Structure 1
């Protein structure tokens, strides 16, 4: 029989993940929230709704968390009526992008109470979440990872073990560092091009199809060129959060990371400018505006 799954965090990613679990036969309990659309849809298809994390834990064998970051995870796990208060063995699968230092500290604390923790952050987009084609990086004890794998495969095309607990979250931060680094570089290059009278279309005509082209570039430029707000649905405030976690990790490792600091600063500028809820490709507009140029109304280069 399939284990009973509790799911907390039915946002853009979580709703698709939970939908796949339910469609593939996993008994599912979801946590009540004021935003009802995803919950109502899942309940209509057979999910059960719990009012508190404790109630959800009592109805579950495995609990998946897909929330913003470590503060939210700790509150759900250890707060009033949290998962721990249920007083029962659980497997907690943290699919959030959390701080590895918090994860590695939390795991032995939970193990002493009979609760196993694996970190299983996600790559790709809500589209792939709904399609069951996410990439998942998994850190944890081998037996816990093996237990989690068939559950993760309900919404993932690739499940990649990374090592001990905390390494999944570390790898996710490195993945995001590279992608946010590309975003910062694209944004600054577009701004400098605009200063020289080079339009985004000229920029794209040189890079697209070259060795510098990639799927991430194409998604970013779908916004730059076509103003597609949904091309890359990841808020800049979350990018800043992740780059802040990276800075914390670098500090704890005694590492000097000037590139990471520069990338973090780019997103700090965007958040300070009130654009934190805008998606990552909008960083190009923030950097352009900070330098007195615009990328929006530049004419397309002549054929």
Structure 2
């Protein structure tokens, strides 16, 4: 297949729940793709079978790529893959763009953007909105922080896996917006869990609760995936761990502290997740917070 001028070579680090679908869409849209090997071999092998190349190190991946997407846990992992003798910076040609799709600390993102510019490289942040199922369909959203020139360059590749792309502002602004977005979503999760528990204790079952909320003004996509677990016990309805959710609301707390903003609601949300994670439930998914809150209050949402 002859590649158009827009089809720059792409590297992808982090082919997990979200990354595998994103990477597959890049392949399907004609982008030459290199992925970084991972201890979970299944997604890597599936992508290689579909036409991707595999790199053994981030440095090797950078040598093969002009745009590199990172879809890892957070800022610590981003720095880890960028730096060191086998990192991206060591292998990247001048002008290479690194696009951080993780949910990272925006203060760290701004610093890394400056460090990469000094090395002749560019950093954009493009955190994600959506679920792994939407990633597989190429229907994610992205909130992008980048210069106008870098945004124009990465947009065709982002369009391979996103149906909504918003250029929020310069590097770091995407991650700032993502923390606000996740504050809303994790806040809803904490409220849903508490409301469902209270309802169960006073005789309003989750089924009755849902019959009122669904289709009304308080309904939304996040509510629907949350309740898909509560009502159907579908563990994979929203595959985002409580540990990752806690990381995000802690980042939000750090940003609020940096600018001197009181965020008492944010701290309440953080503590709902922190108690669940401290109890050993960090690998549970976000809708399963409802079971934890119900259990703390001596009830179960599966009881009729």
Instruction: Report Cα offsets for 1:33-79 as digits up to 9, x if no partner.
Output: 12111111111122111111001111111111011110000000013
1:9 equivalenced with 2:14 (yes/no): yes
1:64 equivalenced with 2:69 (yes/no): yes
Instruction: Output the CA distance in 2 between the equivalents of 1:79 and 1:291.
Output: 48
Cα distance, 1:80 vs structure 2:
3.6
Q: Which residue of 1 aligns with 2:25?
A: 20
Instruction: Output the CA distance in 2 between the equivalents of 1:127 and 1:85.
Output: 34
1:94 equivalenced with 2:94 (yes/no): no
1:119 equivalenced with 2:145 (yes/no): no
Match of 2:231 among 197, 222, 225: 225
Q: Which residue of 1 aligns with 2:299?
A: 293
Instruction: Output the CA distance in 1 between the equivalents of 2:160 and 2:292.
Output: 38
Match of 2:253 among 244, 247, 251: 247
Q: Which residue of 2 aligns with 1:151?
A: 157
SS state at 2:203 partner: coil
Cα distance, 1:87 vs structure 2:
5.3
Instruction: Report Cα offsets for 1:227-263 as digits up to 9, x if no partner.
Output: 1111111111100000000001111111100111010
Instruction: Output the CA distance in 2 between the equivalents of 1:18 and 1:256.
Output: 39
Match of 1:191 among 197, 214, 217: 197
Structure 1 stretches of 4+ with a deviation exceeding 4 A read none
Match of 2:82 among 77, 80, 86: 77
Instruction: Output the CA distance in 1 between the equivalents of 2:92 and 2:245.
Output: 35
Which range moves more in the overlay, 197-206 or 234-243? 197-206
Gaps of 5+ in 2: none
Q: How many residue pairs were aligned?
A: 298
SS state at 2:47 partner: helix
TM-score by length of 1: 0.96
